[in-house]
Amino acid sequence: MTEAWLAGQRAAFAACRGALPGAGTPWVDALRAQAFRQFEEDGPPSPRIEEWRSGPTAALTGQVFAPTAPDGARPASVPASYLAGPRHRLVFVDGRFSAEHSDPGEPPTGARLTSLGTLLAEDPAAARELVGDPEAFAEERLSLVTDRRPQALVALNTALASDGAVLIVDDGVALPHPVEVVYLARAATDPSAHHLRTLIALGAGARANVVEVHAGGSGSVWTNHVTETALGAGARLEHVRADAGTRSAVRVDVAHARLHAGAAYAGFVMAGNTGAVRTETRLVLEGAGADGEINGLCLAGGASHIDALTRLDHRAREGTSRQLWRGVFGDEARGAFQGRIRVLSGASGTNAALDNRNLLLSTGARTESKPELEILTDDVACSHASATGQLDGDALFYLRSRGLSERMARAVLMEAFAGAVVDRIADDGVRAFVRRLVDDQLNVLGSTAS
């Protein structure tokens, strides 16, 4: 199967490379070619790779997902805006920017909001600046921060990325409204892959709030999404990545962020696909006093599988980080959380915490939790905790004794459990949106749970 899968990816790359954004621009072609070679060297993810031990590798390689050429057809429907208030909206359909469905509004002077395809076509020099030296980029790493091979899917994404949102904000500029990016996949009949690349670069002291939402999909769709972020000194990004009821066979969602001195990244992940999800977040605190936060909710029912991985590297002194991850698993769902805090030598004064809690709603649901601390310096305060259990029977009885039905009581407790993570989202409008998504997902879980 692996050979056939690899052969399928080779055929796909050969077929579509000439039509990908930036094709014909020498450095882009070279980057894509190198990335594809690296993908071939690394091979598809397998359980033999430690970071993929619990990943949805079978679902991923079970079908030869390949990029599809745009057929020009319009989607049957596009979700209405997820955020209630003013926002800048970019919509991508099947991996390509849709100007017709987007509403970018007018970002402030000094902020550039566009698509990767547009940027590579209109201003390849600016794109090259974002990527850095493409030679070094491909040899050393596949994105700004991936520090360990194999990262075959990031490599494949680099080779095949068809589009994605790009946000470049100059020093000192703050976006007053959030950016809503919608990645809509239509139902597919043949196995289809969408390789999406989001680029976010905030200059010193810049501020932005980006909400990336996945929607649609079907059992024949694989979405492979990489979001790369670079935060200048003192910049602040709030970054939400969420499933709005996606039905893809597999969704791989990887975020990489590099933080300079005093920068802050506040990330939130909501994974609730009905198929398989692999969600990775890798933060590197490169500058002193940077602050990284990655919170996540994994809500899975049916036969879905959610595999979450975090890598939070403290590379400079006085950095702070927090990770709060919670999972709710019902029916026959599978979950896994691998979270790591790594404090490198020189990162003294680090304060880092990681907390993972899981609720199992049924006897058929399973999850595993693997928090890791790797501390290579003194003078740090790091904590990690992990717990997996069921809904508290005493609390359920207490709620029922006050008149709540068993189902309501379970819903109230699940909502409280998940709400503690949602509450960490700073922006009122974004938090309200995520809470709705979470409530919807919990309703589905609650209706099937025993």
Partner 1 sequence: MSEPLLRIRNLRASVDGQEVLKGIDLAVAAGEVAAIMGPNGSGKSTLSNVLAGRDGYEVTDGEVWYDGRDLLDMAPEERAAAGVFMAFQYPVEIPGVVNATFTRTALNAQRKARGESAIDAIDFLKRARETLGRLEMDEAFLRRDVNAGFSGGEKKRNEIFQMAVLEPRLAILDETDSGLDIDALRIVATGVNAMRDGQRALVVITHYQRLLEHVVPDSVHVLADGRIARSGDRELALELERAGYAAFQPA
Query: At residue 79, what are phi and psi to the nearest 5 degrees?
Result: -60, 140
Q: Interface mask (CB under 8 A) for partner 1, residues 400-419, using x and -?
A: xxxxxxx-xx--xx-xxx-x
Closest approach of partner 1 to the CB of residue 404, in Å: 5
Nearer to partner 1, 381 or 397 (CB): 397
CA distances from 231 to 173, 187, 256, 263 (A): 13, 36, 11, 6
Site string for partner 1, 358-397 (x = CB under 8 A): ----------------------------------xxxx-x
Identify the residue whose tokens are 């399973």: 366
Q: Which of 293/415 has CB closer to partner 1?
A: 415
Q: By C-beta, is 155 or 413 nearer to partner 1?
A: 413
CB of 363 to partner 1, least distance (A): 17
Kindly tell me which of 6 and 420 has the beta carbon lying closer to partner 1. 420
Size of the site for partner 1 (CB under 8 A): 23
Between 120 and 270, CB nearer to partner 1: 270
Minimum CB separation of residue 392 from partner 1 in Å reads 7
Q: How far apart are the first and last CA of the chain?
A: 37
Say how far residue 349 (Cα) sits from the centre of its chain: 29
Q: Which of 126, 420, 432, 444 is in the footprint of partner 1 by CB under 8 A?
A: 420
| Strand 96-97 versus strand 88-93 pairing type | antiparallel
Taking the complex as a whole, the smallest distance from the CB of residue 406 to partner 1 amounts, in Å, to 7
Q: Closest distance between partner 1 and the C-beta of residue 270, in Å?
A: 17
Rule CB under 8 A: which of 176-215 touch partner 1? none
Q: How far is the CB of 361 from partner 1 (least distance, A)?
A: 17
Of 20 and 361, CB closest to partner 1: 361
State in angstroms the smallest separation of the CB of 416 from partner 1.
3
Helix (H) or strand (E) holding 72: none
**Tokens of residue 328, six digits:** 């709710």
What sections of 51-177 are H helices per DSSP?
A: 57-61, 116-122, 124-131, 134-140, 152-160
Return d(Cα 97, Cα 93) in angstroms, integer: 6
Going by C-beta distance under 8 Å and a sequence separation of 6 or more, which residues neighbour residue 239?
Answer: 200, 209, 210, 211, 212, 227, 229, 255, 257, 265, 266, 267, 268
Least gap, CB of 14 to partner 1 (angstroms): 53
Q: Are strands 111-115 and 165-169 parallel, antiparallel or unpaired?
A: antiparallel
Q: Are strands 320-329 and 351-360 parallel, antiparallel or unpaired?
A: parallel
- Beta carbon nearer to partner 1, 316 or 411: 411
CA distance 367 to 157: 28
Q: Is the CB of residue 388 less than 8 Å from the CB of residue 369?
A: yes
- The reply to whether 399 sits near partner 1 by the rule CB under 8 A is yes
Q: What is the smallest separation between the CB atom of 401 and partner 1, expressed in angstroms?
A: 5
Alpha-carbon torsion 149, 155, 158, 163, what sign? negative
Residue 379 sits at φ, ψ, to 5 deg, of: 60, 50
| Shorter beta-carbon distance to partner 1: residue 290 or 422 | 422
Q: Which is nearer to partner 1, 221 or 298 (CB)?
A: 298
**Among 398, 426, 443, 448, interactor with partner 1 by CB under 8 A:** 398
Site residues (vs partner 1, CB under 8 A): 392-395, 397-406, 408-409, 412-413, 415-417, 419-420
